[in-house]
Amino acid sequence: MSDVNMIVYKCPTCGADIQYTAGEDSIQCKYCDSVISIGALAEYEKDLNKQKPDSFNWREYDKNGGNGDWSDAELSMMQTYRCAHCGGEIIGDGSTIATTCPYCDNPVVMGSSIDGILRPDYVIPFEKKREEVFSAYRKFLSGRFLLPHKFKSVSPDDLKGIYVPFWLFDCDSNGSITLNAVRIHRWSDSRYNYTKTDYYNVVREGKMGFERVPVDGSSKMDDTFMESIEPYDFREALDFNSAYLAGFFADRYDVDVTHSIQRANQRIRNSTIEMLRSTVNGYNTVTVNHSDVHIDEGDIHYALLPVWMMNTKYGGKTYTFAMNGQTGKMVGELPIDKRKLALTCVGTFLASLAIAVLVIAFLL
């Protein structure tokens, strides 16, 4: 009996083991029936050997860089609040004596002078005025007949303007992806219907730049909310000046840059893969098989970004409305008044019953 030399490969289409027998110029997968030429398989293997694990390398944030540290004059004009209910800590000007927490709406009282906090590199000032925001909020509520009355009885004073701390990430991203793509062609004649399915292994590589990818540095702020009111126009970002804080609050960050990097890595990775994926067209289905993303020497900045907020308590839960203080993009969650819902259902039922009675009477 002669020896048979066999090498084991993975099918590019389904991932099952396929075996090459010496002397053949193609391989057919016994699981999905794909036929792969030896030349194509060699190219596929070459692409696999190029794949590397993701790597994200950022320069260490220089807390002494940017616009320097707080001046004594700035420190003397500001104090901190701490909410005993949720633990939120915010900064306000020294003229404020008492207020309510922008996160849970419970009363907070002025605490001590600020210390141990980084001075931001940049700030985007508020552009949307309180009256504009309240008008947009009223439109947001319009037509919602099942909304509890409490939400419609709020006033402009219930809105709070707060500068939210954000870490900003700048980098160049190098990415590559391999995809399994399928193209299906169907036709028929007088006797049969035909289907031809072609399988492709698609490779995309590219380099792209990211500027000011924001990750909020407050654990009190819902990440989903903050990402929903993006984007900010960073062309209008200014070197930080404490004068922009007058009349507003500023959140004291409690998520440091080390923990925020993980979120930035994920956002940049997802965007890189999606951008490369968007260049693959003309197939019925496309599935990402493998991807890798690399960042070298990315830069990190610290900034305050404007957000208008309103909290309304109802049914033991706090409902939040938030608006981008620069662009006006907003997001909010609203409850349904169960009593109004029940009355509406009863009214609908009685109206339907009355119509049914009239129809029966007419028929009789």
Domain presence at residue 3: yes
16 plus 138 within the same structural domain: no
> Does residue 107 fall inside a structural domain?
yes
Query: What is the per-residue pLDDT across 87-108, written as a single tens digit (0 to 9) for each?
Result: 777 776 655 545 677 777 776 6
Cα distance between residue 158 and residue 164, in whole Å: 18
Tell whether 241 and 147 lie within a shared domain: yes
**Whether 89 and 218 share a structural domain:** yes
* Contact yes or no for 146/337 (Cβ under 8 A): yes
The residues facing 178 across adjacent strands are 203, 290
Cα dist. 350→64, 345, 356 in Å? 71, 9, 10
33 and 139 share one domain: no
Greatest CA span in the chain, whole angstroms? 96
Q: What is the model's pLDDT at position 177?
A: 92
Residues 114 and 168 in one domain: yes
User: Which parts of the chain have pLDDT scores under 70?
Assistant: 1-10, 12-13, 15, 19-24, 38, 40-51, 63-68, 92-99, 107-116, 144-146, 335-364
At residue 151, the pLDDT reads: 75
Residue 316: inside a domain:
yes
Identify whether residues 215 and 309 lie together within a single domain. Answer: yes
Q: Are residues 107 and 46 in the same domain?
A: no
**Residue 357 located in a structural domain:** no
Report the pLDDT value the prediction gives residue 271, as an integer from 0 to 100.
Answer: 95
**Rounded Cα distance, 160 and 94, in Å:** 17
Question: Do 206 and 237 fall into the same domain?
Answer: yes
Assess contact for 125 and 244: CB atoms under 8 A: yes
The candidate with the shortest Cα–Cα distance to 322, out of 188, 244, 218, is 218
Q: Give a yes or no: residue 360 inside a domain.
A: no
Question: Do residues 147 and 233 both lie within one domain?
Answer: yes
DSSP-derived letter for residue 61 is P
Is 359 among the domain residues?
no
The secondary element (H helix, E strand) that includes residue 311 is: strand 285-314
Q: Is residue 188 part of a domain?
A: no
Which of 317, 223, 250 lies closest to 99 in space, CA to CA?
Answer: 250
Q: Are residues 108 and 128 in the same domain?
A: yes
Residue 54: the pLDDT is 85
Q: Residue type at 258?
A: T
- Total domain count, the chain: 2
What distance in Å separates the CA atoms of residue 34 and residue 43, rounded to the nearest whole number? 16
Q: Are residues 308 and 266 in the same domain?
A: yes
Q: Which domain holds residue 33?
A: 1-50
C-alpha distance from residue 9 to each of 3, 14, 17, 314 (Å): 19, 12, 6, 60
pLDDT at 1: 46
Among residues 29, 50, 71, the one where a domain terminates is 50
Q: Read off the DSSP letter of residue 224.
A: H
Is the peptide bond prior to 102 cis by the omega test (within 30 degrees of 0)? Answer: no
Q: Do 144 and 277 share a domain, yes or no?
A: yes
156 is a domain residue: yes
